[in-house]
């Protein structure tokens, strides 16, 4: 059996970033937290916390932290039937729902969902940013309890809900278009013009190019890991990029940005996957996410 006092110590260190802050959160001494973590590591034969500034959980530690939160959620479901348990749960603070979401969803339609969910007061959220094609990996690893993803195939032990599609346009500033696409947008011009990408896993530009021109050419790339940074860089003429239309609609209307292909967009279908552990909090979050998606997605 797992030692849940030790698991709580591991989760507190991972959450707070240090043994001292974890000790304060748990109401014990830092040496007690250290002892609990070390004892559990020895018992499991695995390092759970990488000591540093800040302290972080290893892959195994992350899974155990997710397990702790699942247990807290399930205990919360029992609180109404067991008043004695309810007081103990209240002392440990509200449960945290860890969710993986892509940066573009967070910047466009997802905030109203978590604001409505968190506004009810007895729960917290911990958002993990990952590419929409890779958030499901966080579910498979046990790192999160729910995810916005492009993967419609249910992760084992999870439920999938279709949300709609986020529409993207290939955009650039008028000056950039005049410099790089004066003769039109085609495969040779794309091979010369700098493109903006979020990270190495970001392939929206390639998917858009393939739908128009077949196999995409190699493109000179600026790496900008920020959704709003994309817009600022595009406005500054650094490159062309794939932007969610809700974020750039005003710039397209005023002409500060131009769509490279006004009649051709890229629609990215999104799905909500969450663990099937049957808790009222996950059900409530799912309802809020579906409502926000109806308002913000195609």
pLDDT tens digits, 7-63 = 989 989 988 999 999 999 889 999 999 999 999 999 999 999 999 999 999 989 988
pLDDT of residue 15: 84
Q: How far apart are CA 214 and CA 13, in angstroms?
A: 49
Q: What is the CA angle 278-282-287, rounded to 5?
A: 115
Mean pLDDT of 211-226: 90
**Total count of domains within the chain:** 2
> Average pLDDT, whole number, for the chain?
90
Under a CB-based contact definition with an 8 Å cutoff, are residues 217 and 196 in contact? no
The larger pLDDT score, comparing residue 251 to residue 92, is at 251
pLDDT of residue 171: 97
Give me the domain span that covers residue 38. Answer: 1-91
| CA-wise closest residue to 136 among 123, 127, 146 | 146
Q: Is residue 44 part of a domain?
A: yes
Q: How far apart are CA 98 and CA 271, in angstroms?
A: 17
pLDDT of residue 81: 64
Tokens at residue 204, please? 């929206």
Same domain for 173 and 263? yes
Q: What is the CATH number of the domain that holds 261?
A: 3.40.190.10
Using pLDDT thresholds of 50, 70 and 90, give the confidence band for residue 91. Answer: low
Mark which of 33, 68, 91 sits at the end of a domain.
91
Phi and psi at residue 247, to the nearest 5°:
-80, -25
Q: Is residue 65 part of a domain?
A: yes
pLDDT of residue 185: 95
Mark which of 91, 107, 135 sits at the end of a domain.
91
Same domain for 171 and 263? yes
pLDDT of residue 215: 85
pLDDT of residue 79: 64
Whole-angstrom Cα Rg for the chain: 23
pTM of the model: 0.81
Q: Is residue 131 part of a domain?
A: no
- E-state strands within the chain: 49-50, 56-57, 96-101, 124-129, 146-149, 158-172, 195-197, 221-223, 241-244, 258-259, 266-275
Q: What is the CATH number of the domain that holds 66?
A: 1.10.10.10
């Amino acid at each position: 059996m797992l030692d849940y006092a030790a698991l709580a110590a591991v989760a507190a260190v991972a959450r707070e970033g240090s043994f001292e802050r974890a000790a304060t959160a748990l109401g014990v001494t830092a040496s007690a937290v250290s002892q609990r973590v070390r004892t559990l590591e020895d018992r499991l034969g695995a390092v759970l916390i990488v000591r540093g500034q800040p302290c972080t959980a290893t892959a195994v530690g992350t899974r155990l932290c997710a397990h702790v939160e699942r247990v807290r959620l399930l205990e919360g479901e029992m609180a109404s039937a067991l008043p004695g348990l309810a007081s103990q749960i209240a002392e440990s603070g509200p449960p945290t729902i860890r969710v993986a979401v892509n940066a573009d969803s967070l910047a466009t339609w997802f905030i109203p969902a978590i604001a409505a969910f968190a506004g009810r007061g007895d729960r917290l959220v911990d958002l993990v940013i990952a590419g929409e094609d890779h958030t499901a990996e966080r579910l498979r690893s046990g790192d999160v309890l729910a995810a916005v993803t492009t993967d419609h195939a249910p992760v084992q032990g999870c439920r999938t809900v279709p949300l709609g599609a986020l529409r993207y346009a290939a955009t650039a500033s008028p000056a950039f278009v005049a410099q790089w696409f004066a003769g039109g947008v085609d495969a040779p011009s794309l091979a010369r013009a700098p493109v903006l990408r979020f990270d190495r896993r970001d392939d929206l530009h390639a998917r858009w190019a393939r739908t128009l021109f077949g196999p995409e050419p190699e493109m000179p790339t600026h790496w900008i890991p920020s959704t709003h940074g994309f817009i600022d860089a595009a406005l500054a003429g650094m490159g062309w990029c794939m932007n969610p239309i809700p974020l750039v609609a005003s710039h397209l209307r005023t002409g500060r940005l131009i769509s490279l292909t006004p009649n051709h967009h890229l629609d990215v279908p999104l799905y909500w996957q969450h663990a099937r552990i049957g808790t009222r909090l996950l059900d409530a979050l799912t309802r809020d996410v579906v409502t926000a998606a109806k308002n913000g997605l195609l």
